[in-house]
Amino acid sequence: MIQFKHVSKRFPDGYFALNNIDLNIAAGEMVYVTGHSGAGKSTLLKLIAAIERPTAGSISISGQNIAQLKPGIVPFLRRKIGFVFQDHKLLFDRNVFDNVLLPLQISGFDNRVVASRVRAALDKVGLLKKEKVMPITLSGGERQRLCIARAVVHRPSILIADEPTGNLDIAYARDIMAMFYAFHQVGVTVLIATHDVALLEDTRHRILSLQQGKLAA
């Protein structure tokens, strides 16, 4: 479903964040991406969502080459993808409900279905009772759940999370991981970047290890 062929990402300063990556991820697979800080984990995830573009190689998603997508096509790709950002990107001047609603409104979803979609997403992450509160009043773990609700509200087939357990204690981190696992179990392709190897000790899923922009064998 996701295929990288000889993909490199060189930033304008000349630095290769990713160097000649070949990768295949099957539909419905759950995959972890690990590596030291600066190894290229975020860059790899951003390439899949066309937030960054590769400087060499090709990336295809469901057979569509996204390395050279025309800007007008990007929103169609994004509808397939839910992204949980490392820095959350929550809107602190809007309540929980509106934070989840916004991506649906931007995608032009029918107003008659959006409220029930938003509540279904909040329910999945256990935040239904907090729909009217402002994000500033949420704990770190609740904010992360809110980010997950926002990422899944349009029912993407690919869910990507960049360090979703950073700054959470281990019990809460496991809860968050269980949430991603539940999406995997209903057929969503899930990619999670984490430097937290303790979380992966007993995983059955594939672990991609990045070292200075290259995939370790």
Binding residues for ligand ATP, rule: CB under 6 A, are: 11, 13, 15, 17, 35, 37-43, 195
When the beta carbons of 3 and 55 are compared against ligand ATP, the nearer one is 55
Largest CA distance in the chain: 49
Q: Cβ of residue 38: shortest distance to ligand ATP, in angstroms?
A: 4
When the beta carbons of 43 and 131 are compared against ligand ATP, the nearer one is 43
How far apart CA 147 and CA 143 sit, in angstroms, is 6
For the chain, strand residue ranges (E) read 2-10, 16-25, 30-35, 56-61, 64-65, 81-84, 158-162, 189-193, 206-211, 214-215
The helix-helix angle for 140-152 and 96-106 (nearest 10°) equals 20
When the beta carbons of 42 and 99 are compared against ligand ATP, the nearer one is 42
When the beta carbons of 96 and 159 are compared against ligand ATP, the nearer one is 159
Q: Cβ of residue 39: shortest distance to ligand ATP, in angstroms?
A: 4
Q: Cβ of residue 124: shortest distance to ligand ATP, in angstroms?
A: 26
Whole-Å CA distances, 18 to 56, 131, 213 = 10, 39, 4
When the beta carbons of 38 and 75 are compared against ligand ATP, the nearer one is 38
Q: Cβ of residue 134: shortest distance to ligand ATP, in angstroms?
A: 27
Count H helices, E strands: the chain?
6, 10
Q: Cβ of residue 44: shortest distance to ligand ATP, in angstroms?
A: 7
User: Rounded to the nearest 5°, which phi and psi values hold at 140?
Assistant: -60, -40
Q: Cβ of residue 154: shortest distance to ligand ATP, in angstroms?
A: 25
When the beta carbons of 17 and 90 are compared against ligand ATP, the nearer one is 17
Listed in sequence order, the residues at least 6 apart from 176 whose beta carbon sits closer than 8 Å to its beta carbon are 141, 144, 145, 148, 164, 165, 168
The helix-helix angle for 140-152 and 170-185 (nearest 10°) equals 10
